[in-house]
Structure 1
């Protein structure tokens, strides 16, 4: 009997855990002072996410398994004008307001009223039981601990997490702080969260980031060519490998292409040197359009899904264009971040010095002087 009861309870808990893990997050509005038929829009930093219609002073959104817990806003159109206003959330401090909110666990319930902020059209609303949003308001919407008005010590952050171990918002802040925290401290902070939060998308990303950082082996970056064939030797194919990380939306990356063409022309017959361009674009169609628009003569690849985090951990890649020179073992020997009008001379210096080649740029400059 006891054994039967044990397995019954275990089965029930498993169902609960699975149902929560796959449950969509809901955003519900009640007593909203908007007319029936009014369209309201759910947005975040990436743009419009969804829209719905107010019925009986209510509206509802569902967000299936959100990957990131970025702040959201709800906006509505003012009459027939191409203007929008926000639902306004009062902060704990008097006379202070906020236009964005964080997702509460599984359901964010917004309770409105007919009160308007000053003489504008914005509606003042409240969030029921705002655990995540109290953290959002407390740190003025800071996306990372480095931006927040909080003591920057690991001990202080650990104490904050210990008081809110099930907070997706704090896990999100930890994710965006990962470059500024020593990896072993990052692991101790990650370990302080509840398992459910650790298994979220950002929690898994941080865990992978930590594993990459703590790895004693050089893990090769996996990319794919235009045919979809996976390639793992862009960092190890020759004695000196120049890997250029780019993206279709990166203006400075486009600006650097003529410079790279000049460099390729100068060293294309050097067998000990290779150059590869690797796009971090997620959309393959956009990447192919970019390739057609800006053709080059050296190999071009697209980073495989899930590999961007490895790049971040391996090279502290935070912006593009990003150029890494590696040796045949895949070890980084020189890194350049961002666009620099003098990059050509700097790249030539690395190539000639590492391969014991004459630096004609330096020679010409010396002759001119």
Structure 2
């Protein structure tokens, strides 16, 4: 009986790995709970302002595309918005984010990181007619950015310093955000 147990354990591990690789819902939930386990950050989002990004090795998957590493955005002004289609405050602030993206999209790197299933995001984007740069977490999120609450948004300057950090709904098309982005782009 003791010889059978390691084989069963091995089969379960192989089955889990195959499920993660070939069955997207398992991969989605594996990433979700791995992030909760390894990326939990008890510092309130608003207090993360003035922290510097230490980890640029963060794997993301472009909506309908390939994997991309956060390293490619180093040196850019970046706005990261974590959201989901099932999150009412996320949906409510999305028009203001779209307006800012429409104004600055070629000068600021926007990462709309969806904590949702791709089919739900596709349905939402099609219904609303949004053409935004959406990404999905494809690995462990850096602790600086992780927050289980949605929406959560960070603005990062060219040196990798967090200059604005908000959790909850916000008017991203306001004069304060535009003034901040203009000042960051002029440097």
Deviations 1:50-92 (A, max 9, x none): xxxxxxxxxxxxxxxxx9xxxxxxxxxxxxxxxxxxxxxxxxx
1:238: how far off?
Answer: 5.1
1:240 matches 2:77:
yes
Distance 1:20 1:225, change over 3 A: closer
Match 1:348 to one of 157, 178, 182: 178
- In the alignment, structure 2 segments of 5+ residues that lack a partner are 13-28, 41-52
Aligned counterparts of 1:351 and 1:219: Cα–Cα separation in 2: 21
Partner SS state of residue 70, structure 2: coil
Corresponding residue of 1:303? 137
1:244 to partner: Cα distance: 1.2
Q: What value does the CA root-mean-square deviation take over the aligned residues?
A: 3.7
**Aligned-residue offset at 1:15:** 4.5
Mind listing any 5+ residue stretches in structure 1 that lack a counterpart?
1-10, 23-66, 68-201, 211-215, 358-369
Inter-partner Cα distance in structure 1 for 2:132 and 2:71: 12
Asked if structure 2 preserves the Cα contact closer than 8 Å seen for 1:236 and 1:330, the reply is no
Aligned to 2:91: 254
**239 and 220 in structure 1: CA distance in 2 versus 1, 3 angstrom threshold:** same
Q: Cα distance, 1:235 vs. partner? A: 7.2
| Structure with greater helix share of residues | 2
Query: Counterparts of 1:275 and 1:228 in 2: how far apart (Å)?
Result: 16
For these two proteins, the number of residue pairs brought into alignment is: 157
Q: SS state of the match for residue 228, structure 1?
A: coil
Distance 1:290 1:248 in 2: 7
Question: Which has the greater radius of gyration?
Answer: 1
Measured against aligned partners, the alpha-carbon deviations of 1:219-252 in whole angstroms (never above 9, x if no partner) come to 4332212333111138725521111111111111
Query: Larger relative CO (CA 8 A, sep 6+): 1 or 2?
Result: 2
Query: Can you list the C-alpha shifts for 1:284-328, whole angstroms capped at 9, x where unaligned?
Result: 211211221223344122222x43xx25x2324121111111234
Give TM-score scaled by structure 1 length: 0.36
